[in-house]
Amino acid sequence: MGRALCFPDLSGKQLVELQRLLRSRSTPIGVQRRAHLVWQLAAGASLAEASEWVELHYTNAHVWVKRFLGAGVAGLLDRPKSGRPCVYGPDLTTEILKVAAARPKELGLRFTTWSLPKLQEYLRGRPGLEQVTRSTIRRRLREGGLRFRTGQSWCQSNDPEFEVKKTKS
Protein backbone atom coordinates (compact mmCIF):
# COMPACT_ATOMS: atom_id res chain seq x y z
CA MET A 1 0.00 0.00 0.00
CA GLY A 2 1.32 3.43 -0.98
CA ARG A 3 2.00 6.38 1.22
CA ALA A 4 -1.18 8.29 2.07
CA LEU A 5 -1.51 11.63 0.34
CA CYS A 6 -2.82 14.47 2.43
CA PHE A 7 -5.67 15.27 0.08
CA PRO A 8 -7.99 18.09 1.16
CA ASP A 9 -11.75 17.71 1.44
CA LEU A 10 -13.49 18.84 -1.73
CA SER A 11 -16.16 21.51 -1.76
CA GLY A 12 -19.65 20.72 -2.94
CA LYS A 13 -19.04 22.74 -6.10
CA GLN A 14 -15.89 20.74 -6.91
CA LEU A 15 -17.73 17.45 -6.34
CA VAL A 16 -20.52 18.54 -8.67
CA GLU A 17 -18.01 19.59 -11.35
CA LEU A 18 -16.17 16.27 -11.04
CA GLN A 19 -19.44 14.34 -11.35
CA ARG A 20 -20.37 16.39 -14.42
CA LEU A 21 -17.05 15.49 -16.05
CA LEU A 22 -17.37 11.83 -15.08
CA ARG A 23 -20.93 11.42 -16.35
CA SER A 24 -20.74 13.45 -19.54
CA ARG A 25 -20.38 11.46 -22.74
CA SER A 26 -18.57 14.35 -24.43
CA THR A 27 -15.77 14.55 -21.85
CA PRO A 28 -12.47 13.48 -23.43
CA ILE A 29 -11.21 10.19 -22.00
CA GLY A 30 -8.03 11.77 -20.63
CA VAL A 31 -9.99 14.38 -18.66
CA GLN A 32 -12.38 11.70 -17.46
CA ARG A 33 -9.46 9.58 -16.24
CA ARG A 34 -7.99 12.53 -14.32
CA ALA A 35 -11.36 13.39 -12.78
CA HIS A 36 -11.72 9.76 -11.70
CA LEU A 37 -8.23 9.95 -10.15
CA VAL A 38 -9.24 12.97 -8.06
CA TRP A 39 -12.54 11.28 -7.17
CA GLN A 40 -10.65 8.24 -5.85
CA LEU A 41 -8.30 10.44 -3.84
CA ALA A 42 -11.23 12.35 -2.35
CA ALA A 43 -12.72 9.00 -1.31
CA GLY A 44 -9.56 8.23 0.69
CA ALA A 45 -7.48 6.11 -1.69
CA SER A 46 -3.71 6.50 -1.75
CA LEU A 47 -2.08 8.05 -4.80
CA ALA A 48 -0.57 4.69 -5.79
CA GLU A 49 -3.96 2.94 -5.53
CA ALA A 50 -5.83 5.68 -7.36
CA SER A 51 -3.25 5.94 -10.16
CA GLU A 52 -3.32 2.16 -10.63
CA TRP A 53 -7.12 2.18 -10.64
CA VAL A 54 -7.31 4.77 -13.43
CA GLU A 55 -4.27 3.32 -15.24
CA LEU A 56 -2.05 6.38 -14.95
CA HIS A 57 1.62 6.16 -14.06
CA TYR A 58 2.29 7.28 -10.50
CA THR A 59 4.44 10.27 -11.54
CA ASN A 60 1.85 11.45 -14.09
CA ALA A 61 -0.88 11.09 -11.50
CA HIS A 62 1.18 13.18 -9.10
CA VAL A 63 1.52 15.94 -11.73
CA TRP A 64 -2.27 15.99 -12.29
CA VAL A 65 -2.96 16.10 -8.55
CA LYS A 66 -0.62 19.09 -8.20
CA ARG A 67 -2.44 20.82 -11.07
CA PHE A 68 -5.79 20.06 -9.44
CA LEU A 69 -4.64 21.40 -6.08
CA GLY A 70 -3.36 24.56 -7.78
CA ALA A 71 -6.19 25.29 -10.21
CA GLY A 72 -9.12 23.14 -9.12
CA VAL A 73 -11.16 21.18 -11.65
CA ALA A 74 -9.92 23.46 -14.45
CA GLY A 75 -6.42 22.09 -13.79
CA LEU A 76 -7.56 18.68 -15.03
CA LEU A 77 -8.30 20.03 -18.51
CA ASP A 78 -5.73 20.00 -21.27
CA ARG A 79 -3.86 23.23 -21.77
CA PRO A 80 -3.84 24.78 -25.24
CA LYS A 81 -1.01 23.45 -27.32
CA SER A 82 1.20 25.61 -29.44
CA GLY A 83 1.02 25.32 -33.17
CA ARG A 84 1.55 27.20 -36.33
CA PRO A 85 -0.44 30.44 -36.31
CA CYS A 86 -3.13 30.88 -38.95
CA VAL A 87 -1.81 32.49 -42.09
CA TYR A 88 -5.25 33.56 -43.33
CA GLY A 89 -8.10 34.87 -41.22
CA PRO A 90 -11.84 34.26 -41.51
CA ASP A 91 -11.97 36.80 -44.34
CA LEU A 92 -10.38 34.18 -46.58
CA THR A 93 -13.27 31.77 -46.00
CA THR A 94 -15.72 34.48 -47.00
CA GLU A 95 -13.71 35.30 -50.13
CA ILE A 96 -13.37 31.64 -51.16
CA LEU A 97 -17.08 30.96 -50.66
CA LYS A 98 -18.02 34.10 -52.58
CA VAL A 99 -15.82 33.16 -55.54
CA ALA A 100 -16.78 29.47 -55.52
CA ALA A 101 -20.49 30.33 -55.48
CA ALA A 102 -20.13 32.67 -58.46
CA ARG A 103 -20.23 31.43 -62.03
CA PRO A 104 -16.83 31.73 -63.69
CA LYS A 105 -18.41 33.44 -66.73
CA GLU A 106 -19.75 36.18 -64.42
CA LEU A 107 -16.18 36.85 -63.30
CA GLY A 108 -15.01 37.24 -66.90
CA LEU A 109 -13.41 33.80 -67.17
CA ARG A 110 -13.61 31.56 -70.25
CA PHE A 111 -14.74 28.33 -68.55
CA THR A 112 -18.11 27.37 -67.09
CA THR A 113 -17.33 25.29 -63.99
CA TRP A 114 -14.79 25.54 -61.20
CA SER A 115 -12.15 22.96 -60.52
CA LEU A 116 -9.87 23.18 -57.50
CA PRO A 117 -6.81 24.16 -59.60
CA LYS A 118 -8.83 26.82 -61.46
CA LEU A 119 -10.18 28.22 -58.20
CA GLN A 120 -6.67 28.29 -56.74
CA GLU A 121 -5.30 30.06 -59.81
CA TYR A 122 -8.06 32.66 -59.69
CA LEU A 123 -7.62 33.27 -55.95
CA ARG A 124 -3.85 33.57 -56.28
CA GLY A 125 -4.46 36.50 -58.60
CA ARG A 126 -6.12 38.38 -55.72
CA PRO A 127 -3.99 40.60 -53.48
CA GLY A 128 -2.87 38.88 -50.28
CA LEU A 129 -3.73 35.38 -51.53
CA GLU A 130 -0.69 34.75 -53.71
CA GLN A 131 0.37 31.70 -51.66
CA VAL A 132 -3.02 30.09 -50.91
CA THR A 133 -2.86 26.30 -51.24
CA ARG A 134 -5.42 23.84 -52.52
CA SER A 135 -5.65 22.15 -49.14
CA THR A 136 -6.49 25.51 -47.52
CA ILE A 137 -9.15 26.17 -50.15
CA ARG A 138 -10.63 22.68 -49.72
CA ARG A 139 -10.67 23.02 -45.91
CA ARG A 140 -12.31 26.46 -46.01
CA LEU A 141 -14.92 25.24 -48.50
CA ARG A 142 -15.71 22.33 -46.18
CA GLU A 143 -16.06 24.75 -43.25
CA GLY A 144 -18.55 26.72 -45.36
CA GLY A 145 -20.54 23.58 -46.22
CA LEU A 146 -19.25 23.16 -49.79
CA ARG A 147 -17.05 20.47 -51.26
CA PHE A 148 -15.43 19.69 -54.57
CA ARG A 149 -16.30 16.57 -56.43
CA THR A 150 -13.92 15.18 -58.97
CA GLY A 151 -15.15 15.53 -62.50
CA GLN A 152 -16.61 12.56 -64.28
CA SER A 153 -16.47 12.06 -67.99
CA TRP A 154 -18.98 10.12 -70.00
CA CYS A 155 -19.49 9.10 -73.54
CA GLN A 156 -22.67 9.04 -75.57
CA SER A 157 -23.23 7.13 -78.75
CA ASN A 158 -25.97 6.54 -81.28
CA ASP A 159 -24.87 2.92 -81.60
CA PRO A 160 -27.78 0.64 -80.53
CA GLU A 161 -25.29 -1.85 -79.02
CA PHE A 162 -23.40 0.84 -77.08
CA GLU A 163 -24.55 -0.34 -73.62
CA VAL A 164 -23.51 -3.93 -74.37
CA LYS A 165 -20.12 -2.87 -75.74
CA LYS A 166 -19.56 -0.48 -72.81
CA THR A 167 -20.01 -3.21 -70.19
CA LYS A 168 -17.74 -5.70 -72.02
CA SER A 169 -14.61 -3.62 -71.70
Q: How far is residue 51's CA from residue 3's CA, in Å, rounded to a whole number?
A: 13
pLDDT digits (tens, 9 = 90+) for 51-76: 899 999 989 988 999 999 899 888 88
SS3 for 50-71 is: HHHHCCCCHHHHHHHHHHHHHH
Non-local CB neighbours of 14 within 8 Å, separated by 6+ positions: 72, 73
How much is the mean pLDDT over the chain? 85
Q: Domain ranges for the chain, please list them.
A: 12-76, 90-143
pTM of the model: 0.48
